Amino acid sequence: MSTELSPAEHWHKALGHLVEHLRMKTFPDVLVETLRQLANFDTFLVATYKRDFLPVVLYSSYQPGQDSAIRRYLEEVYLLDPLYNAIRKSVPSGLYRLRELAPDSFEETEYYQSCYAELKLDDEIIFLCRLDNDVVFTISLGRTSKLGTITRAEKLRLKEVFPVIQALCHQFWLSLSSEYVHSKEAKNTLEQALESFGSGVLTAREQEITGLILQGHSSKSVADILDISAGTVKVHRKNIYVKLNISAQSELFSQFLAHLGSLG
């Protein structure tokens, strides 16, 4: 008689193992392996965010000290990231594909080309769990071209277990948050970085539009957000380019990324 476990039995066994690690620093590691029972992924990043502090990495398939894209993300360019800005805008807890959080022209941005493209991800699915004291616990699961985009069945399985995963992450954080203190404040918020980027050159409205463009919003998207016409956005955009002495969107992103790197 076969003693092979069914998929459901494998899942419950893995879940029980995860519960056993709730009060241990190994919880993030076991959490990732538990989620492998439900979906395939090539990369992962477990991190927490809190207000104006730098993100704190709990566990990752990347090496922050060696991987330039991840290092740049953690130190500065996360300010332009769709996940970070979804958190800022109080997007509720849930399971999201990065594309569901990203602005309509995100993949055309210099940020995407210089950071995400380097990671060679075809898809990314994210557990966004809002905890206490403004802390947001995130689990980002990435898929390269080898695996392709996440399947409907995989996403459904992850969505079904989201409430359990969020509850466990919450209990883990209550027990061990002192091990991962958000102590390093960010040099700037996105608004502060934009203000210093366009200081004395751009108007307040132009700075606002610059921020939306940098995040990956098209002219139409900017117009919808600000409740102005697309034609007005194009006029502002032209003025921004003239004042910054640039001629292409890629130059705007390059200038701002260089500006982020220069902030002390």
Of residues 149 and 5, the one with the higher pLDDT is 149
Give yes or no: residues 146 and 243 share one domain: no
Q: What is the pLDDT of residue 132?
A: 83
Residue 135 has φ and ψ, to the nearest 5°, of -90, 135
Q: What is the pLDDT of residue 65?
A: 58
DSSP letter assigned to residue 182: -
Rounded to whole angstroms, the Cα distance separating 40 from 175 reads 29
- Estimate to the nearest angstrom the gap between the alpha carbon of 62 and the chain centroid: 15
Give yes or no: residues 160 and 92 share one domain: yes
Average pLDDT of span 152-166: 97
Q: What is the pLDDT of residue 142?
A: 95
Q: What is the pLDDT of residue 3?
A: 65
Last residue of a domain, one of 180, 210, 233: 180
Residue 45 has φ and ψ, to the nearest 5°, of -150, 115
- Which residues make Cβ contacts (< 8 Å) with residue 155, sequence separation at least 6? 39, 95, 97, 125
Range of the domain at 13: 7-180
Query: For residue 253, what is the domain's CATH number?
Result: 1.10.10.10
Q: What is the pLDDT of residue 115?
A: 76
Q: What is the pTM of this model?
A: 0.89
What percentage of residues in the chain have a pLDDT greater than 90? 62
Average pLDDT of span 69-85: 83
Is the confidence at residue 4, as pLDDT, over 80? no
Give yes or no: residues 152 and 257 share one domain: no
Q: What is the pLDDT of residue 155?
A: 96
Average pLDDT of span 244-264: 85
Mean pLDDT, the chain, integer = 89
> How many structural domains compose the chain?
2
pLDDT band of residue 187 (cuts 50, 70, 90) is: low
Give yes or no: residues 112 and 154 share one domain: yes
Give yes or no: residues 228 and 172 share one domain: no
Query: For residue 105, what is the domain's CATH number?
Result: 3.30.450.40
Give yes or no: residues 196 and 174 share one domain: no
Q: What is the pLDDT of residue 264?
A: 61
Last residue of a domain, one of 153, 180, 207: 180
Give yes or no: residues 142 and 246 share one domain: no
Beta bridge partners of 259: none
pLDDT band of residue 100 (cuts 50, 70, 90) is: very high
Average pLDDT of span 149-177: 96
Q: Which of 106, 126, 122 is nearest to 42 (CA)?
A: 122
Give yes or no: residues 140 and 36 share one domain: yes
pLDDT in tens, 188-222: 778 888 888 888 899 999 999 999 999 999 999 99
Is the confidence at residue 125, as pLDDT, over 90? yes
Rounded to whole angstroms, the Cα distance separating 111 from 84 reads 14
Residue 136 has φ and ψ, to the nearest 5°, of -120, 120
Q: What is the pLDDT of residue 1?
A: 47
Give yes or no: residues 116 and 207 share one domain: no
Give yes or no: residues 87 and 212 share one domain: no
User: Hey, what are 197's tokens?
Assistant: 């980027």
CA-to-CA separations, 248 to 107, 200, 216, 242, 255, in angstroms, rounded: 16, 21, 14, 10, 11
Give yes or no: residues 104 and 200 share one domain: no
DSSP E strand boundaries for the chain = 43-50, 56-60, 94-97, 121-130, 135-144
Is the confidence at residue 66, as pLDDT, over 60? no
In a domain, 185, yes or no: no
In a domain, 101, yes or no: yes
Give yes or no: residues 91 and 214 share one domain: no
Average pLDDT of span 173-198: 83
